[in-house]
A and B are shown apart, each in its own frame.
Chain A
Amino acid sequence: MQGVKVRSAPVVLRGLPSLPVLWAAAGVAALLAACVAGALMGPVHIGVGTVLRALTGGVVDPGQANILWSLRFPRVVLGVLVGGMLAIAGAAYQGVFRNPLADPYLLGAAAGANLGATLAIAFGPGTTVIGLNIVPLAAFAGAGAAVAGAYVLGQTVSGLRSNTGLILAGVAMAAFFNSVQTYVQQSQTGSIRQVYSWILGRLVTAGWDGVLLVLPYVVVSALVIFLHRRLLDAMMIGEDEVTSLGISVRRVRLIVVVAATLGTAAVVAVGGTIAFVGIIIPHTIRLLVGRSYTVVVPLSLLFGAAFLVLADTAARTILAPAELPIGVITAFVGAPFFIAVMRSTRAASL
């Protein structure tokens, strides 16, 4: 490699597939369809015409307008953000660690968030301090602490030369945080109900404040991952490929991991731990469309968002007016679907 060519990264990366227009259109269509379904369906029946009038600023019965604007629409938007974020974070982790089982919770983000929330609930001076709900903030801090801990531990062990060191450090951090959380939970049984409802997610109670809480993190995080999609492709070929471009593998990894974790922590703080989305969505896209991150990253965002909006719509309608935990739906529908995709594409892709 000559010094001149090192700077022109696109030369090396040229020839990688770009996002197929048809799939991009399908992704947008799926997301729109999911949002329409989410806006129309709920435990309270509200007609299509009313929903359309509400969206276009027409005259709507105030009771129905209240339900749509205060409860249903923010929940759909939150579903988009949570699903898109989890799927894109999963794709990013899988790319950075070159490990197909990597998911948004790999480095202990969820365990840290749960511990932070549990500590705040069990020992906090009430759930609000100066009018601020401290529980999501504590969750956020916990997620950050767990991932930072995993990163430092992984670096001291293996200098981050190998993925395995970092992943094992993450697994160790997650196990440690989980054990502390279980201990606190068992010794503070008075707050056990609130801790459980925290862990199971709170899409049920969220409104626009939840949307505003996660939006900045999701936007920044998704943008960073999107901008690194070609470098993730290069890393897939081999770390030497990235190094040969004059780019530090360590830096790429750090930036992508921080971005994905930041987004995950924000999402966990509002939506709870929703398993499986970060695994099945990116892999389904790899199997059906292609392995390049120029494809996987944007399509994961679109289909992950669509999937979670649909799952959440099912969560609030199947047992209406009772809610079903959304994790039940993502796993119950997602797992068989994923297996079907794996089986049908086995010959082609694996």
Chain B
Amino acid sequence: MRAHQPRASAKLAAPIIVTAFLLASCGGAPSSSAATPGTHYPVSIAQSDGTTVTITHQPHRIVSLSPTATEMLFAIGAGAQVTAVDDQSNYPASAPMTKLSGFQPNIEAIAGYTPDLVVGAEDTGGLVHGVQALNVPILIEPAAKTLDDSYAQIKQLGLATGHTAEADALVARMRSQVGAFVASVAKPTRKLRVYHELDNTYYSVTSATFIGQVYKLLGLDNIADAATGAAPDYPQLSAEYIVSASPDLIVLADTKCCAQNLSTVAARPGWSVIGAVKSGQVVGVDDDIASRWGPRVIDFMQAVAPHVQQLEKAA
């Protein structure tokens, strides 16, 4: 309940200023102050590469090239200011999806939407340089490594779009929901092991990733963490290893891309002996939800947490 309060108060005019100041001080994003109501433009936003982006007025023609940023923008009430989103931004349904690509950005096509703010997830194909050449501010909100990264990005987008109060409220709500999920799973004596599958060639995630952090919060041991040293954060695991590690829970983030489910997993050579397969604790999640670090991380936890509870009861 408490989590909803900031959002309700955001509808009043006066507290916005207060909230904006609070956000500016706790979010660490420096904001220059002009004595106008609402968000004070220009705002300066620190980027992860050390540069600072200045936004001179509230943007009304935002182009988002990042599905996660799109979800964040709509969740903080900036959806009406979004003019175009990339071809992967399939949520929410009201997002103005276009053929723009975030992987292979076409500066001319982006310019065609006459944006006053561009948001992307990574600087590929000279994106930042090209957009800056158009004299348009561009924010890069890269893949989060932790929930705190994700919260910071939501607040940053709130500041950039003039929705600081909603952003703050969203973060508060997410924090309390995450807290509730974490509290809902007991801390068992025997650690439960999870295997998170990105595709059907056994690419997975370690605890150094956003999703890995979520598993950690739920008190799970991630079998991919054995891949250390030179191995990447998204290692491709050996089938032998997965089978011998016999995870208690398998989370399939390849239900859409690769049509995987309990029966396809059980049919893989040697996999039928895995604990999770024998007990049926193979959870299919929406690929998109499991690969975005936005507000729907709550949906992801909602899908996974009940299985953790079941496993704990069984143990």
Contacts and interface: CB of A to CB of B under 8 A. Distances in A.
Most buried by B among A44, A62, A70, A321: A321
Contacts of B238: 42-44, 204, 316, 320-323
A260 B242 CA distance: 36
B109 interface: no
B270 A207 contact: yes
Contacts of A321: 226-227, 235, 237-238, 240-242, 245
A184 B231 CA distance: 31
Interface string A197-235: 100101011111100000000000000000000000000
B244 A67 contact: yes
B243 interface: yes
Interface in B199-253: 199-203, 226-227, 229-232, 235-245
A189 interface: yes
Contacts of A155: none
B101 A323 contact: no
B270 A193 contact: no
A67 B257 contact: no
Interface string B100-111: 010110000000
A1 to B, nearest CB: 57
A319 B257 contact: no
B240 A42 contact: yes
B interface SS class: loop
A127 B258 contact: yes
A27 to B, nearest CB: 28
Contacts of A62: 273
B198 A193 contact: yes
Task: Say which size band chain B's interface belongs to.
Answer: 35 or more
B90 to A, nearest CB: 9
Task: Say which size band chain A's interface belongs to.
Answer: 35 or more
B2 interface: no
Contacts of B244: 43-44, 63, 67
Contacts of A44: 238, 240-241, 243-244
B201 to A, nearest CB: 4
B286 interface: no
Contacts of B256: 190
A186 interface: yes
A324 to B, nearest CB: 8
Nearest to B230: A319
Interface of B: 87-88, 101, 103-104, 198-203, 226-227, 229-232, 235-245, 256-259, 268-270, 273
13 contacts: A44-B244, A63-B273, A189-B101, A189-B103, A194-B200, A197-B200, A197-B201, A202-B201, A204-B236, A204-B239, A322-B232, A322-B237, A325-B236
Given A70-B270, A322-B238, A323-B238, 12 more contacts: A44-B238, A62-B273, A70-B269, A186-B104, A194-B258, A197-B203, A204-B201, A204-B202, A208-B269, A321-B235, A321-B240, A321-B241
Query: What are the 5 closest A-B residue pairs judged by CB atoms, nearest first?
Result: A207-B269, A70-B270, A321-B241, A322-B235, A322-B227
